[in-house]
Homo-oligomer: A and B are copies of this chain.
């Protein structure tokens, strides 16, 4: 029996993703990604990564890179997009760049897990909150 999808939980899951990212916490990141669905991850400028192994390998590299700058997000908007799926769009600040991202979560048992993440450069983002 899976829990029903709730947008508040989606926002928590999205926050957990950025906490893992910012905290360079590979275990937390690994736990966030779906184990039941084929996952998709499109880092800015990269070719598409499909499948848990390729996606987690990319995150292992990113999260162990001492050059990786601070990441924070703002302006999140969550939408239910299917019976058991929801998407969050938000802006990511990393160094002087702003990216815009779509994160898709699926209900898996009693929690939400990431099934798709795409981030890309945004030329004209809304201003970050002060």
Contacts and interface: CB of A to CB of B under 8 A. Distances in A.
B84 A42 contact: no
The main secondary structure of chain A at its interface with chain B is strand
B100 A81 contact: no
A115 B45 contact: no
A116 B50 CA distance: 18
For chain A, which range describes its interface: under 10, 10 to 19, 20 to 34, or 35 or more residues?
Answer: 35 or more
A81 B102 contact: no
Interface stretch (A8-16, A17-25, A56-64, A122-130): A122-130
A26 interface: no
A45 B124 contact: yes
The 10 closest A-B pairs by CB, nearest first: A120-B120, A82-B85, A45-B123, A38-B79, A48-B89, A81-B115, A83-B83, A85-B85, A82-B82, A82-B84
